[in-house]
Chains A and B, each alone.
Chain A
């Protein structure tokens, strides 16, 4: 016990890292399920349906498939760089999650904030620093595969990423000017109040630039030409198989989650609630939502015909109902508010991402590059200049 209180920082950080990794890996797995279901419904089909009730065990099946596939290495590739690239991509994508606050820093255990792992003064700047090194995962993967399609795909993909990185960073500077600080907590606190105080209203242009640049930065449709199947086979990860391919896959989704978390924090108030604080009934929302989900699953269980699916759904129902009951207990009720709103907003962003994927066609590469340099960059710069002017005039 003495050891724990002496080394509180270390112990609490390790526990937080373990919990966050577990939650994020599960979220990544079920994000693939979510994407396949939503895109399928947009395209008027069902999506994963057979593996588990409503396809809920599909990520498990996919994970097992990846583990058991044959692990090929191209014979004349550069071994060290070939193995380094997916590790680099995945570790950088997961490291950015250490900087993100999921809830208010005031909730503490042993003097350490519970909901953020690395509470830094320049959190935003470091997040961009880690994102800018993420280009290497793609470029080195393309190079080390020692083959035409990966090389071209890797070059195109990394050129796209560094081009849109400039617009990404510039579109966020407007928010920085308003908040006056690089730290995430400072930016969130500046948006305190209800939904009318969020940064998205004064910075709507910045938000649109940010979303566009973020979709391009994470190589998603409509900007995913370098890795589209109909174009360059599979782009920079053509020559990768089994677990290394799974790592690239996970890195892409982790980047998606990071960018959505960043959008929430910068423009939509982070873990703040959109409703005014005087409406105390909002404290019951998380619990009520989970219990509603549990009741829907119970109804679905009764309707299901197949035996094993019925068993799985009843487990899900039980978990939802128990979680809802826990969230309605008074001590948990106050603590869970921050993360609940944060996760809800991030979920909305991810739904938006997947919605765009199911709806839009992809850009051609030259259209993509000219859009990034000739349209997005000047618009971000203009947003920055206008924001600075307005702040200056208002301060006078």
Chain B
């Protein structure tokens, strides 16, 4: 039980706990906080996997900007306690067990898949972390076209959000 394995299990437990709290929470603000917990634990997992730049981007963009947007909208719309409509019998007695079965099945087949087994010990050797320099090279040389297309996408999203916000007045 070396330190990376212990850290993995702690972060994995935090992530799953956050996801379960997201489902169980009665108020949307608590769901938002649990999702932030999931994102931060995933960022630690990215650090364990050696992707330092992606871990920082995850916290800056996802946990620090997207979730702030969610929290703002919850605060502005004053989303209070979620009303609990009673579930249909189908959902309660067939839906939930099937959902859990889906979960276990995905986990089982991912575990047993040949990809997983083949690379299970691939991370055994100490490998260097991915450097930001190489990532930037890949992004601006090989993937330049998707990069530019994504920047146009963001521009469209900004314009769309502005138009929608203006129209609601």
Residue numbers in A under 8 Å from B29 (CB-CB): 78, 81, 140, 143
Contact with A along B11-38 (1 / 0, CB 8 A): 0000000000000000101100100100
B75 near A129 (CB under 8 angstroms)? no
A129 near B59 (CB under 8 angstroms)? yes
B75 near A133 (CB under 8 angstroms)? no
Residue numbers in A under 8 Å from B36 (CB-CB): 136
Contact with B along A347-391 (1 / 0, CB 8 A): 000000000000000000000000000000000000000000000
From 58 to 84 in chain B, residues with beta carbon under 8 angstroms from any chain A beta carbon are 59-60, 63-65, 68, 71-72, 75-76
A133 near B63 (CB under 8 angstroms)? yes
CB of A13 within 8 Å of the partner chain: no
Residue numbers in A under 8 Å from B75 (CB-CB): 139, 142-143, 151, 154-155
B72 near A155 (CB under 8 angstroms)? yes
Residue numbers in A under 8 Å from B132 (CB-CB): 122, 182
A139 near B68 (CB under 8 angstroms)? yes
CB of B53 within 8 Å of the partner chain: yes
B59 near A132 (CB under 8 angstroms)? yes
Nearest Cβ in chain A — how far from B154, in angstroms?
13
CB of A282 within 8 Å of the partner chain: no
Residue numbers in A under 8 Å from B49 (CB-CB): none
CB of A91 within 8 Å of the partner chain: no
CB of A301 within 8 Å of the partner chain: no
Nearest Cβ in chain A — how far from B119, in angstroms?
25
What's the dominant secondary structure at chain B's contact region? helix
Nearest Cβ in chain B — how far from A53, in angstroms?
45
CB of A188 within 8 Å of the partner chain: no
CB of B48 within 8 Å of the partner chain: no
Residue numbers in B under 8 Å from A80 (CB-CB): 30
Contact with B along A310-345 (1 / 0, CB 8 A): 000000000000000000000000000000000000
Bound Cα distance from A126 to B40, whole angstroms: 12
A158 near B63 (CB under 8 angstroms)? no
CB of A121 within 8 Å of the partner chain: yes
Bound Cα distance from A165 to B64, whole angstroms: 10
Residue numbers in B under 8 Å from A84 (CB-CB): 33
Residue numbers in A under 8 Å from B65 (CB-CB): 132, 162
B residues with a Cβ closer than 8 A to A are 27, 29-30, 33, 36, 40, 52-53, 56, 59-60, 63-65, 68, 71-72, 75-76, 129, 132
A residues with a Cβ closer than 8 A to B are 78, 80-81, 84, 121-122, 125-126, 128-130, 132-133, 135-136, 139-140, 142-143, 151, 154-155, 158-159, 162, 165, 182
With contacts A81-B30, A135-B64 known, what are 17 further pairs, Cβ within 8 A? A84-B33, A122-B52, A122-B53, A122-B132, A125-B56, A129-B56, A130-B59, A132-B64, A133-B59, A133-B63, A136-B36, A136-B71, A139-B68, A139-B75, A140-B71, A155-B76, A182-B132
The 7 listed contacts between A and B (C-beta, < 8 Å) are: A78-B29, A125-B60, A129-B64, A132-B64, A136-B36, A139-B71, A158-B72
